Structure 1
């Protein structure tokens, strides 16, 4: 009966997105619950939260409590709206970011359905993306990259497939991506260039349609250009302050550095954080013949044109982030990881009889990567190492509060920001700090020349040091990527003529509190009767 066909759902029909999104969000919320109240960390504390905080309080799109670097303002506006509706707390911020991460995973689901058609492939690709350690860690961190990734993936939903492309909808999503992170503009411009080549090769009716598509995709750059004009009018800097521009776009142009960075980027896309598991399994699966479905046809696969466009996007992003960005942060490639995974899972599905086992093995590798650090140098924000660092720093600051309230503290970023900016969630009142760049030998010698400028020191490992046998390419990393070696806390205390009174360690990272046997002034907001265990201390208020 016709009416029954209208009201009974098709078993092979895709689930509606409004049903899938709550499932994804709840899964993210449950798996990230223990992280929601962590104070802000690293680049969150250094730029993104101060920028959003300035907009929240004053409505200024240009941050003024931190150096402006011309990052577009959409993440600041989004977070400020959540703070206005709820409260300015790390928990509210991280829940707001979780919503964005869930929307990004929803886009992965939709994108895979459009380029492959299999719900099973869509399920495993979405699950693997959510479990991939870098995506998992970034799902609660208030960096612009998760915003740009989510919007970019939705843009690809409407711009990447061979059929049913909707360039106007794609352009809107790509505009939002570019207003989240400026480098996201590379995706629509790359697709516009690809479709421009298609237009040149097409006959007149198809050429007109494809030219319109190219123009829509290229239009995604208009709001970003307008933002830069506005930023220049307000600050006199087009692409941010000169130091930011030098570090991220001028000092990176050495040919040797670009080649070394490209090698890093290829490894980031194919091996980092156990990505080598699905990549190796894909290589093995490609040796098998395609499997047949129940009708005797070869199983579905990604169309050759879509596959080529994915490879081009991967190559362009690897090349771009080999030139741009002083730090080789993997989160810059966040929207690329789902594209790598859809290629892998599609290959499993097409060529391996029991392909779910390969997807499950990849998932197991990713879960291990969330908790187990790799045997080489990496950024703590690439997995849950960042949470261990935050809790280690919380313990160190707690020791500082208990032992030396009111001290002027020698430390390095980001602890200096954590101590001096209460809005970051670490302290209730600002502390006076004496900031150095890191805890390398040269910086400690510099601090030793000015002993009167600090009365306590909170020192910590600023980088994860891998085992010596795995430290390949260290010379290049030291020369081109800012790799340095922190002195151990015992050596720092000795050079500064102090005493190490407390030390904490966790997963290869450490933090130490140092006292000095000299007089120092106490802060006027220290509670009466507070005792300073730092030699002959005086308590003159100021």
Structure 2
């Protein structure tokens, strides 16, 4: 009965974003992969390199495109439904662990308002699918019964077939169960060893369909874990000890302070100084059960470690299932120890809402708040200018604008525009572009990273050098500097909340292609 209410809430709060074209990894992988399945029925994408991501998101999107058409508004509405299902799972987890409707409702609302969650709610990323299935599985795990574990095993399997890294959650629970058994020195010393063995077996089950997918992918492509470049970027190149430690530091910040999350976390720690309050009926207000807390800490720790080792980019959407768990711990602690705890919930809601548009004083990915919408609209304006004024031009630009210009299905152009690709707009790449001047007459430059000029929380040149070495950080040149280097002029420039885009024109003779007779 609550799902329609949750869906309407998500849909209405995102209604101004539903017609936006596709963004970044949507355009780079998930939409092309789903589009290939929609056109050909192939689970392995052909118009983009296969990353070995499981196919359930592509199947889901293709289903809705079949019903409503292959347009961004259909995709984003379909994602609103997944986000609503995930929020309903947050509500159910809180209700199972606390028995309080007010705690459950507050947890779901604050999760929905958290900037990272809010931004991801309409983006076609596999992480949203995996988070929804994972949270539903956890809602059954926390109930603790054998039948509930069977249901959770099915849902964990669905999560793994949405995003392979979702397997970390059932494996972390498996490690937790094994640790409990070791603590008692023997499985036979537990009150119900058969149940423990079956739980362990059920937590292994989700790995089986994922393994079958990899066998199929290897059979079709010759690569088990995706193309070699993807594997190198997200796995083999991330195993440097220094890089892992730096990534772990970032991940800890992501789950405690990032995008104003420090507000509820600090309020929680402050509340823990206070004694527990009594219920109206007499006993003290209950905490989240220790067993459930231990499972939550195991899940959070395992995911933080996993995504410190894997993943070339430190994307916070990898941690989507963790944020509702953190919010729940905060909310129940407030309710247990602070008489006027709704005031803390309101303060957190205001902080999260401010995070939609007020960029933090540190570098972040635009997809972590509504900055991604600024990027999309800037690219729309720049591409519109190019299509109108230079319809036959070859455009020098970087990814993802290369795909935006060459793939009409992404929603930016009606017919493909010829492009020449560079990696970014850093000085070395612009210097390289000076060697190919006869091939393009227009350039689309844009901020490839949020890079504010003054960073109050900068750790200095050494930290910046480490970010450049391990996490791909670089400084983009300004449009004027790019124009000077390439001997062109800026004909249009736009800026939104620290993001920018520009169109440059170069007065050079172009070769005209004669039509075939």
Q: Which is further off, 199-208 or 134-143?
A: 199-208
Kindly indicate whether the alpha-carbon contact (under 8 Å) linking 2:140 and 2:151 is maintained by their aligned counterparts in 1: yes
Question: After superposition, where does 1:379-458 map in structure 2 within 5 Å?
Answer: 379-458=365-444
Find 2:58's aligned residue among 63, 76, 79: 76
Kindly indicate whether the alpha-carbon contact (under 8 Å) linking 2:361 and 2:455 is maintained by their aligned counterparts in 1: no
Q: For residue 163 of structure 1, report the CA deviation from its aligned partner.
A: 5.9
Report SS of the residue matched to 1:114: helix
Kindly indicate whether the alpha-carbon contact (under 8 Å) linking 2:18 and 2:122 is maintained by their aligned counterparts in 1: yes
Q: For residue 470 of structure 1, report the CA deviation from its aligned partner.
A: 2.9
Q: For residue 106 of structure 1, report the CA deviation from its aligned partner.
A: 0.4
Q: For residue 198 of structure 1, report the CA deviation from its aligned partner.
A: 3.2
Find 2:352's aligned residue among 361, 366, 369: 366
- For residues 485-524 of structure 1, the C-alpha deviation after alignment (integer angstroms, 9 at most, x for no partner) is 100000001110111111111111111111111112468x
2:502 counterpart of 1:512: yes
Find 1:329's aligned residue among 315, 318, 321: 315
Find 1:29's aligned residue among 5, 11, 14: 11
Contiguous gaps of at least 5 residues in structure 2? none
Q: For residue 475 of structure 1, report the CA deviation from its aligned partner.
A: 2.3
Q: For residue 205 of structure 1, report the CA deviation from its aligned partner.
A: 5.7
Kindly indicate whether the alpha-carbon contact (under 8 Å) linking 1:291 and 1:299 is maintained by their aligned counterparts in 2: yes
Question: After superposition, where does 1:451-490 map in structure 2 within 5 Å?
Answer: 451-466=437-452, 467-472=454-459, 473-490=463-480
Work out the CA distance in 1 between the residues paired with 2:431 and 2:448: 17
TM-score (normalizing by structure 1): 0.92
TM-aligned CA distance change 1:508 to 1:204, over 3 Å = closer
2:167 counterpart of 1:175: no
2:261 counterpart of 1:275: yes
Runs of 4+, deviation exceeding 6 Å:
none
Q: Which is further off, 512-521 or 110-119?
A: 512-521
Report SS of the residue matched to 1:251: helix
Find 1:166's aligned residue among 109, 129, 148: 148
Q: Which is further off, 118-127 or 202-211?
A: 202-211
Work out the CA distance in 2 between the residues paired with 1:367 and 1:68: 37
Q: For residue 197 of structure 1, report the CA deviation from its aligned partner.
A: 3.3
Q: For residue 210 of structure 1, report the CA deviation from its aligned partner.
A: 1.2
Kindly indicate whether the alpha-carbon contact (under 8 Å) linking 1:521 and 1:541 is maintained by their aligned counterparts in 2: no
Q: For residue 167 of structure 1, report the CA deviation from its aligned partner.
A: 1.0
How many residue pairs are counted as aligned between the two chains?
Answer: 508
Work out the CA distance in 1 between the residues paired with 2:146 and 2:236: 41
Work out the CA distance in 2 between the residues paired with 1:399 and 1:449: 26
- For residues 147-166 of structure 1, the C-alpha deviation after alignment (integer angstroms, 9 at most, x for no partner) is 00000000101113456771
Kindly indicate whether the alpha-carbon contact (under 8 Å) linking 1:158 and 1:164 is maintained by their aligned counterparts in 2: no
Work out the CA distance in 2 between the residues paired with 1:226 and 1:427: 38
Find 2:75's aligned residue among 89, 93, 109: 93
TM-score (normalizing by structure 2): 0.96
Find 2:287's aligned residue among 301, 309, 316: 301
Q: For residue 301 of structure 1, report the CA deviation from its aligned partner.
A: 1.4
Report SS of the residue matched to 1:192: helix
Work out the CA distance in 1 between the residues paired with 2:512 and 2:335: 67
Question: After superposition, where does 1:218-297 map in structure 2 within 5 Å?
Answer: 218-297=204-283
Kindly indicate whether the alpha-carbon contact (under 8 Å) linking 1:407 and 1:521 is maintained by their aligned counterparts in 2: no
**Residue aligning to 2:38:** 56
2:337 counterpart of 1:351: yes
Work out the CA distance in 2 between the residues paired with 1:136 and 1:522: 47
Work out the CA distance in 1 between the residues paired with 2:154 and 2:478: 50
Q: For residue 474 of structure 1, report the CA deviation from its aligned partner.
A: 1.9
